[in-house]
Amino acid sequence: MSGSNDHIGAATRRYGKATIGEAIKRLRAGGLVAVPTETVYGLAADSTDAAAVAEIYRAKGRPDFNPLIVHVPDLQAAKRLGQFNALAVRFATALWPGPLTMVVPKTEDCPVAAAVTAGLDTIALRVPAHPVMRELLETSDLCLAAPSANRSGGISPTTADHVSRSLGTAAPLILDGGPCEQGIESTIVAVDGSDYRILRPGPVTPDQLEATAGKPAITAGSGKIEAPGQLASHYAPAKPVRLDAQTAGIDEYHIGFGPVAGDMNLSPGADLAEAASLLFAALHKAEASAKPDIAVAPIPCTGIGLALNDRLRRAASPK
């Protein structure tokens, strides 16, 4: 693609052959590129370039104890960075490419910059399914550190417009591949010998994990921090959020679900996957509305509803 149609905003380019080339050039030079994945938009940099990784933390205002997920094209590439036991290989074979991040021990000669793992001896790895991110990974031959492309603590971006509104010129290039299909961050699983723990609920549900592993996740209990950066307040609009709201007050923008109509409805047919794909867009809309407060209808805690409620609890948590 070429010509003025590619150029939507100062830094936003519609995805295409030419723009992928421009993105790769930037990434190889140590720059940042915002890129769509099936979960949310990521702010990507070469994970082996310490200065580029430092720039991600700076652009997001992200605390340096919060490690980054590294995106790789396939399991073979993942094995150069992390150690995969039988259970990890089983998860990878069944659920990659897809919205599953696995935390595994780093390899001896893991080339990623130390800041990516925030000093841990484990690394978080994912093989994404989105065609734009896949093309970037396969064509560039880079392993990309890519947290969500928003200011730290704020609402995750599910469109290119959300990215540019949150990061402004801190995202010098945004590849616009349309809205993210899943709309909620990846499930994070820590693989520990023949056991696994769910560190963050997401689009891959506990039932899917159990069917793949042949057993349920174990719950933490070691007392050590399992997932640094999983802060109580996160994904948060700059307004108070009230949950389980069947009705809303005059001052509240009401996000509905199923029979609770609201000012907008995440899914009139009560489809949880549809609701997940629209959750962050709804929070962005509520944040931008004239109403000073936000209320959210009850959402069932089953399947991907677990992840939806996890994000909503963090959105509603006092800052």
The binding site for ligand AMP (CB under 6 A) comprises: 66-69, 103, 117, 120, 122-124, 147-148, 185, 188, 199, 227-230
Residue 224 in contact with residue 190, Cβ under 8 Å? no
205 is a site residue for Mg ion (CB under 5 A): no
Give the residue at shortest CB distance from ligand AMP.
229
Judged by beta carbon, residue 120 or residue 273, the one nearer ligand AMP is 120
Q: Which does 124 bind (CB under 5 to 8 A by kind): Mg ion, ligand AMP, none?
A: ligand AMP
Binding-residue total with Mg ion (CB under 5 A): 1
CB 169 to ligand AMP: min, Å: 21
264: alpha, beta or left, given left = phi > 0 and alpha = psi -120 to 50? Answer: beta
72 vs 260, which CB is nearer to ligand AMP? 72
CB contact set of 139 (below 8 Å; sequence gap of 6+):
20, 24
Binding residues among 106-135 for Mg ion as defined by CB under 5 A:
none
DSSP 243-298: -S-SS--TTEEEEEBTTB--SEES-TT--HHHHHHHHHHHHHHHHHSS-SEEEE--
Distance, in Å, from the CA atom of 23 to the CA atom of 229, rounded to the nearest integer, reads: 28
Specify the DSSP class assigned to residue 117. Answer: G
Helical residues (DSSP H) of the chain, grouped into ranges: 17-28, 50-60, 75-81, 86-95, 131-140, 160-167, 206-213, 272-288, 305-316
Smaller CB distance to ligand AMP: residue 8 or 120? 120
Residue whose C-beta lies closest to Mg ion: 148
Pairing of strands 252-256, 69-71: unpaired
Partner in contact with 228, chosen from ligand AMP, Mg ion, none, beta carbon below 5 to 8 Å by kind: ligand AMP
Beta partners for residue 123, in sequence order: 104
Strands 187-192 and 195-200: antiparallel
- φ/ψ of 57, rounded to 5, equals -60, -40
Query: What are the structure tokens assigned to 186, written together?
Result: 């990846």
- The least distance separating ligand AMP from the CB of residue 270, rounded to whole angstroms, comes to 27
* Partner from ligand AMP, Mg ion, none contacting 122, C-beta within 5 to 8 A by type: ligand AMP
Kindly state whether residue 148 participates in binding Mg ion, applying the rule CB under 5 A.
yes
Nearer to Mg ion, 88 or 155 (CB): 155
Q: Which of the stretches 21-29, 144-152, 171-179, 189-197 binds Mg ion when contact is defined by CB under 5 A?
A: 144-152
- CB of residue 199 to ligand AMP, shortest distance in Å: 6
Name which of 186 and 265 has its Cβ closer to ligand AMP.
186
- Cα gap 121→138, rounded to integer Å: 26
Q: Residue 64 CB, nearest distance to Mg ion (Å)?
A: 15
Q: Would you tell me which residues interact with Mg ion (CB under 5 A)?
A: 148
